[in-house]
Structure 1
Amino acid sequence: MAAQPLVPARLAFTEDGTPWSDTFGDVYHSADGGLGQANHVFLAGNGLPQRWRGHERFVVLETGFGLGLNFLATWASWRDDPERCGRLHFVSCERHPFTADDLAHLHRRWPQFAELSAALRAQWPVLAPGLHRLHLDDERVTLTLYLGDAREGLVQLVARADAFYLDGFSPARNPELWSPQLCRLLARLAAPDATLATWSVAGAVRRHLRDAGFELTKTPGFGGKRQMLRGRLRGAETAAVRSAGGRPDTASLPEIPAAAPRHALIVGAGLAGCALAERLAARGWSIELIDAAAAPARGASGNLAGVLRPLPSVDDNRMSRLTRAGTLYGWRHITRLRAAGEAVKAEACGVLHLARDDAQAAKMGAVVERLALPPGHLRYVDADEASTLAGWPVPIGGWWFGDSGWVHPPSLCAANLARHGDRVRPHFDRKLGALQHDDNGWCAVDEQGVKIAGAAVLVLAIGTAVRDFVPARLLPVGSARGQVSLLPATPGDAPRVVVCRGGYVSPEVDGQHCTGASFDSDDEDAAPRLGDHAANLARLDAMLPGITAGLAPADVGGRVGFRPTSPDRLPMVGALPAASAVAPATPLAAIPRQPDAWVLSGYGARGLVWSEIAAELLASVLDGDPLPLERDLCEALDPARFLLRPPRAPQSAD
């Protein structure tokens, strides 16, 4: 079932000006002062800032984001502490988020947070259900927001929290946020020696927290409240949490030894490998990057323009949620790269996805109505508006993704490698011959047996060539030949936006339109074919009738790439399996894996959609951070999933 559409919070205030929730009939913070409550109850109640000192990473988990005041106060306290931890993670849930404009209005009463509030609002996500990851303060502060019901969000979170802020509305007004089930979820997410704090001292709250394993103490409250609660996970529960770490996988986060080598060998310098190199380097890792080509993005990632946009569905299935997460995170990542001075050639000009026929148009309209996403992100447009958007007459309407667009993949790869270039050591023009593993880690050698590079951790992001090193029974990667066609164009030519239907066409980019693409499984012909150019032109003419007039297949250029595919069209992100057969009921976390070996593959025709969010996911797993995707989505990407079900027939790109 699709998640319920988000209903944003509405600005409302009590007579004394305290922010008020009409939904829950309660105030957002104490009438004695929100900032005072944040500092006294939540920071001091968790022993902050003292407790984060000496830590490389400290994770705070909050049950209700609300105005974001607790987050701003925590961020400001972290900034002001010369002995602060290296990185601060703040994870929070919010069922009824405010819009960025409403946050601006609310935050004016705390002018000391003006800079932090502006930075937060600049990255404030599209109000869509699910997890959203925001990187702030040169990525030293990370906000991971679950927009939706906290009871569902806490089930889906993969994190190890050092401190909990229990800040839901009153237990009498919002009992779900104080239930026995929620308290048990907090214990499951707790790091060893985790603490909690809350203003509530209700008897039921104390009972549920004690039953979940927390030792509690009443201490003086803030303002008009005589008492508040502080808590700590009891010793037996702490030991159980510590022992649950185990092998790093998508089901749980690893315990990272203080002296763990943060050195990775990445094979492949396309979208997948370059994105991961940047995400790991941002965390302080050293990277050895190997590719057989003379420069990055020379294979399937070398097209002039690709599309970065989601693929919604009426039931908001895993493909829908993953492509939305990948698109939103991808555009935020491009914005961060540009802010750091890196040149990424891309434009969020909008993407128009036309319906095939009236029946599909009706379904597309139903999807928009059911998901009820912000119209700036997704709405349905009729044929007249679609024609205006495209700058060309079209006979039917479809989806309009106003915040999506096209990206030049080679420029994105180059920017990712340049962002932390002092930590990335490239090994171009070096074709991998073999991989060797021993007690010192992994070693890559060329076809003559000469060592290229070595590191503690291996990641295969090598496209279809992964099949030369991993048997198909362990990793069922296919190959899809894709040919794009390049048409002459001048600035202002139609279409002015990306248009899709059975293929895609970009607006003018460097004097050309990029259109295509073919999707032929197990076809190894690397030379462009006139027949495929003809098919691309036919698809283009079906989208934008008459636009190819006067063009013949021999008049256009193009290139061919080979894209790694998966049987279920979702990418493979995670630890490489080591067993070729397991019992169907085996939990993913129990499947044996290759030691310190990981994979990024199966991106198919959606390399731009998957690459950045998959890289952030794998980097988070390897470094022990809270994960940026929900638990069920992480499991849907686990490369070992195919061992638990029979293979499916290959599917098309759409």
Structure 2
Amino acid sequence: MRFVRTRIKPLLLLGSGYNYLRMKITNAKISLKEHNLSSATFNDIYHSSSGALEESLYVFIQGNKLTERWNALHDSDRFNIAEIGFGTGLNFFLTLKTWREQTRKPKRLFYTAFEKYPITKTDLATIYKKWPNLTYENDTFINLYPDHTIGCHRLLIDTDITLDLIFGCANHSIDLIKASAKLRVDAWYLDGFSPNKNPELWSYELFEKLAFHSAPDSTFSTYTAAGAVARNLRAAGFKVKKIDGYGKKRHSLIGILDKTESKTLSSCATPWLNIKTSKVFETKQKEATIIGAGLAGGTVALALARRGWKVTIVEAANQVLHGASGIDQLALRCRLFAKNSSLSLFFLHSYLFSKRYYSLLNNGSAWNETGLLQLGDAKNKRKLFDLEKIIDIYDSRVVQKMSPEIAASLVGLRLQNTALTDNLIYFPEGGWVDSLDLSSNLFSHPNISVSLNHSIDQIIRENKTWHLTSCRKKPLSSPVVVVASSFAAKNFECLKTLPLQEIYGQATKIPTSPKSERLNKVVCGERSVFPENGGHHTISASYFRPDQKTLSPEAMDPKQLNKENISRASSLFCDNGIFQSEDSDALSATRSAPPDFIPIIGLAPNFSQMRANYLAFTLNKKTKFEKSRNQDDYHEGLYLSVGHGSNGAATCPFAGEIIASLIARDPLPVSGETFDELSASRFIIRDLKRQKIRFA
């Protein structure tokens, strides 16, 4: 667990009714009496007491003419639906069922839903018993459903169905979407509580934002026919039509976007972050080459393959998941911060997404949700953090404060008293990933091919195509390239100034003993010790930078490092002789991380050109630029997923989803601010403002 100093800005712009210095969410308070499901907060029903399914079909699916439109758009790549007020998920389930029954339809369905007060998983399970016709859809969803934590939860429902659940105030959550990466919604479901109970969801302010994020000819439907709602929709640019309502309701509203002109961005303060004008690459030739078959490369490949792309992975080593990605057991936990910010949300949602990701991949065969105990003397913790603040802002299903007494009885082995401090952290849903099992299924998608022993010497772009040269094999050409190997990136002329530092580490693999096999949690202290896996334990890891001149040859000797790992792991427990060193194996690898220990994810900057474009920052760091200045800030069709360091098990799957979304022009699963903080351009702009001329 790394706790490093990272400058972060508190995230405060997220809506009234919440303390957004915390990342917790307030769950819905519901009342379920007889056939009526109602909200105690809004004193309103979620849906009709009878005919709820039929009303949802009539108002939303028929109201937006989905089956007819899907049939007409069967050659298109994706259809986007967005819902204001997810509630019980009924509209989503019926849409999902209708989609699966339709034979002619677009290739993928993307569904975005906003919800301020999510219903708890326990309450939903009770509600779903009333909908036996939707059992399959409900079961698929409930296994993945998160009922806590603000922000965007991306759920991979099926190979062709993605659900983004965005928890928080809709009016403010939609502001956080990157303006130059609009949702491009084809159909809106307006299903908030009634306008007189929850007027915020029916305001002109919100409808104007919906229009901005709409695709051409976007439609909407809603159960209400309130005059104020109709007027606000018209003012926002929608044509509105009143139709017969369902059941006892006299009327409801449907409509289509009337305004077709696109709005300009309201601010040009950071044109280097405007991905719309930085030429997000579009191609009908859905082919991509990924450099690196580690965890970063494999997860990007699978995310693209799910979207119908043909992916070629080139790897210099003789196996996939080589090096740090191939350590037998990889810990999965959340990197923690003492305050909410765009970065703390990134690491939190990386952890939550990756946990769902591993549980789905090959039916979760590589995932082991054992729980993870973090001791107070964890290696690389540079200073004590405020545990009370951590517990206050994170949900208890993410992290818990653990008493020494409970911790002592939790792991299956007796812990030393010196390890049982008041600074113990427990990740109840954390655990570890079996990298051997992962390697056998991460690359198995039919759209993925892997070329091993294939090092790339240089990448050059000519005629809208990237050309990859190799001294070992024939050159390759590809419209899209993702660099997912930090070490390869430093060899390419166009990326050689990426600020990546190497960190060497050695893990140790030791056989189990009658005593050690009782260990049932991942325990992280000065070393991390994993439960038994195939007759052995993994102990990880010693860390040092290869350029440290104070290290003696003896200190870098694998046998000596093994002994040190075993000694430090043994010191966590009371019993003697738990771990034996005679048959230990060394698992050495080098990780890479930027100086701020934040991974680099997204478009690859044109370093020299961006430096020239914003050189005025060296004279005045408050210089303002025209947005037209950044047309050549980024290389077309070149993307990065590098520098994940020791957090890679959590951040790589989420990074893969971000990059695939960017390439395929899907909605991004992170806020605009988070996306910007992950960009490699941060180093260029930061150094210019500090008058550090690092990038030539």
TM-score by length of 2: 0.83
Counterpart of 1:123 in structure 2 is 144
Deviations 1:349-368 (A, max 9, x none): 110012249x9888324422
Quote the Cα distance in structure 1 between the aligned partners of 2:533 and 2:123: 37
Q: Percent identity between the aligned chains?
A: 29
Are positions 1:392 and 2:392 aligned together?
A: no
User: Match for 1:13 among 15, 32, 39?
Assistant: 32
Counterpart of 2:85 in structure 1 is 64
Counterpart of 1:651 in structure 2 is none
Letter of the 2:126 counterpart: H
How is 1:101-500 mapped onto 2 (pairs within 5 angstroms)? Answer: 101-136=122-157, 138-157=158-177, 159-237=183-261, 260-339=284-363, 344-356=365-377, 363-371=386-394, 373=395, 375-390=396-411, 391-394=413-416, 395-397=420-422, 398-418=424-444, 420=445, 422-439=446-463, 441-447=465-471, 450-470=473-493, 474-490=497-513, 493=517, 495-500=519-524
How is 1:533-612 mapped onto 2 (pairs within 5 angstroms)? Answer: 533=562, 535-537=564-566, 539-541=568-570, 543-544=572-573, 556-580=584-608, 581=611, 582-583=613-614, 592-612=633-653
Counterpart of 1:41 in structure 2 is 59
Quote the Cα distance in structure 2 between the aligned partners of 1:416 and 1:618: 17
Question: Does 105-114 or 282-291 show the bigger shift?
Answer: 105-114
Question: What is the Cα deviation at residue 548 of structure 1?
Answer: 6.9
Q: SS of the counterpart of 2:103?
A: coil
Question: Does 634-643 or 489-498 show the bigger shift?
Answer: 489-498
User: Match for 2:115 among 94, 98, 101?
Assistant: 94
Change (3 A) 1:410 1:451: same
Change (3 A) 1:115 1:439: same
Letter of the 2:662 counterpart: V
Quote the Cα distance in structure 2 between the aligned partners of 1:110 and 1:73: 11
Question: What is the Cα deviation at residue 540 of structure 1?
Answer: 2.9
Quote the Cα distance in structure 2 between the aligned partners of 1:301 and 1:165: 42
> Number of matched residues?
633
CA contact (8 A) 2:216 2:260 kept: no
Counterpart of 2:693 in structure 1 is none
Q: SS of the counterpart of 2:337?
A: coil
Q: CA RMSD in A?
A: 3.2
Deviations 1:54-108 (A, max 9, x none): 2331010001110111111111111222222221111101122122232222122
Change (3 A) 1:319 1:530: farther
Question: What is the Cα deviation at residue 318 of structure 1?
Answer: 3.7
Change (3 A) 1:591 1:155: farther
Deviations 1:415-461 (A, max 9, x none): 1111x1x322221112212223222622222126x524322111111
Change (3 A) 1:256 1:166: farther
Q: SS of the counterpart of 1:177?
A: helix
Question: What is the Cα deviation at residue 527 of structure 1?
Answer: 6.5
Question: Does 83-92 or 435-444 show the bigger shift?
Answer: 435-444
Q: SS of the counterpart of 2:87?
A: coil
Are positions 1:639 and 2:677 aligned together?
A: no
Question: What is the Cα deviation at residue 330 of structure 1?
Answer: 1.5
Quote the Cα distance in structure 2 between the aligned partners of 1:203 and 1:96: 26
CA contact (8 A) 1:480 1:523 kept: no
Question: What is the Cα deviation at residue 112 of structure 1?
Answer: 1.4
Are positions 1:629 and 2:670 aligned together?
A: yes
Quote the Cα distance in structure 2 between the aligned partners of 1:475 and 1:84: 43
Question: What is the Cα deviation at residue 638 of structure 1?
Answer: 1.7
CA contact (8 A) 2:494 2:607 kept: no
Question: What is the Cα deviation at residue 310 of structure 1?
Answer: 0.7
Letter of the 2:638 counterpart: A
CA contact (8 A) 2:219 2:254 kept: yes
Change (3 A) 1:430 1:4: closer
CA contact (8 A) 2:59 2:223 kept: yes
Quote the Cα distance in structure 2 between the aligned partners of 1:256 and 1:485: 43
Gaps of 5+ in 2: 1-9, 11-20, 618-623, 691-696
Question: What is the Cα deviation at residue 230 of structure 1?
Answer: 1.7
